[in-house]
């Protein structure tokens, strides 16, 4: 049986395809997939999903391998084998606030998609905050007065800057990761080992 790989749609997918092509795999069917969410190549089955759903497909053994941001693994703690980092998808987690706005001593409200990471960050600091969950465009929350600050992913810092926010603290660094279903690693060892080894070689030369 061909290995099934679940890919996080969007920027990780694009960066993975470049990486995959650099390992001399055929990416043609993936580049020309249109709106298809499932693509078969001679060697692999690919499925395309949101990051957190990639972990679900891998956890349930629908996909053998997954390519997902480490932020998702830390936030959702799926029961998967976290194999190794990949040389793309680099970003950080930051606490950010509005430029020139006073940081309240008490009764702080923080908006984030990453509510578990946020909770743990403030728990470690011994500070109590209210957390509001948002699904995206988190930078809007302080501007619109929904929150005093945000905890979100930062790469270039452009989104923060263009929305009048500044970093108050940076506390985690991430990259994309290759994850695997625990049973697949044993049952499909013969087909997965060469793939995993080729990915690892690719990581080593980057």
Ligand X SMILES: O=P(O)(O)OC[C@H]1O[C@H](OP(=O)(O)OP(=O)(O)O)[C@H](O)[C@@H]1O
**Between 51 and 66, CB nearer to ligand X:** 51
User: Per residue in 79-115, is it b (16+ CB within 10 Å) or e — as a string?
Assistant: ebeebeebebbebbbbbbbbeeeeeeeeebbbbbbbb
Does 152 bind ligand X (CB under 6 A)? Our answer is: yes
Does 154 bind ligand X (CB under 6 A)? Our answer is: yes
Least distance in Å: CB of 107 to ligand ATP? Answer: 29
Residue 135 is classified by DSSP as: S
Give the sheet arrangement for strand 176-180, strand by strand. 38-40, 45-49, 4-8, 65-69, 176-180, 81-85
Does 145 bind ligand ATP (CB under 6 A)? Our answer is: no
Does 159 bind ligand X (CB under 6 A)? Our answer is: yes
Please say whether the beta carbons of 11 and 89 come within 8 A.
yes
Least distance in Å: CB of 42 to ligand ATP? Answer: 28
Residues 76-105 that bind ligand ATP (CB under 6 A): 89, 91
Does 126 bind ligand X (CB under 6 A)? Our answer is: no
Contact track, ligand ATP, 170-189, x by CB under 6 A? ----x---------------
Give the Cα-Cα-Cα angle 175, 181, 185 (nearest 5 degrees). 105
**Between 1 and 144, CB nearer to ligand X:** 144
Least distance in Å: CB of 28 to ligand ATP? Answer: 23
137 binds, among ligand X, ligand ATP, none (CB under 5 to 8 A by kind): ligand X
Helices marked H in 39-128: 51-59, 70-76, 115-125
Residues lying near ligand ATP in the complex (CB under 6 A) are found at 8, 10-12, 50-51, 69, 71-72, 89, 91, 136, 153, 155, 174
């Amino acid at each position: 049986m061909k290995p099934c790989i679940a890919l996080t749609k969007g920027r990780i997918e694009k960066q993975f395809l470049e990486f995959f092509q650099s390992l001399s795999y055929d990416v043609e069917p993936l580049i020309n997939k249109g709106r298809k969410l499932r693509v078969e190549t001679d060697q692999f089955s690919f499925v395309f999903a949101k990051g957190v759903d990639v972990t679900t497909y891998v956890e349930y053994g629908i996909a053998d391998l997954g390519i997902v941001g480490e932020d998702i693994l830390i936030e959702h703690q799926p029961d998967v084998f976290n194999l190794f980092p990949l040389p793309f998808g680099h970003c950080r987690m930051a606490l950010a606030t509005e430029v020139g706005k006073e940081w309240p001593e008490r009764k702080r409200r923080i908006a984030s998609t990453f509510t578990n990471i946020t909770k743990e960050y403030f728990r470690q600091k011994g500070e109590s905050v209210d957390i509001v969950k948002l699904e995206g465009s988190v930078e809007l929350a302080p501007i619109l007065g929904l929150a005093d600050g945000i905890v979100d992913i930062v790469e270039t810092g452009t989104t923060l800057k263009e929305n009048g926010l500044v970093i108050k603290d940076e506390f985690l660094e991430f990259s994309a990761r290759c994850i695997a279903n625990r049973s697949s690693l044993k049952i499909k060892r013969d087909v997965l080992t060469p793939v995993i080894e080729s990915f690892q070689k690719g990581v080593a030369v980057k």
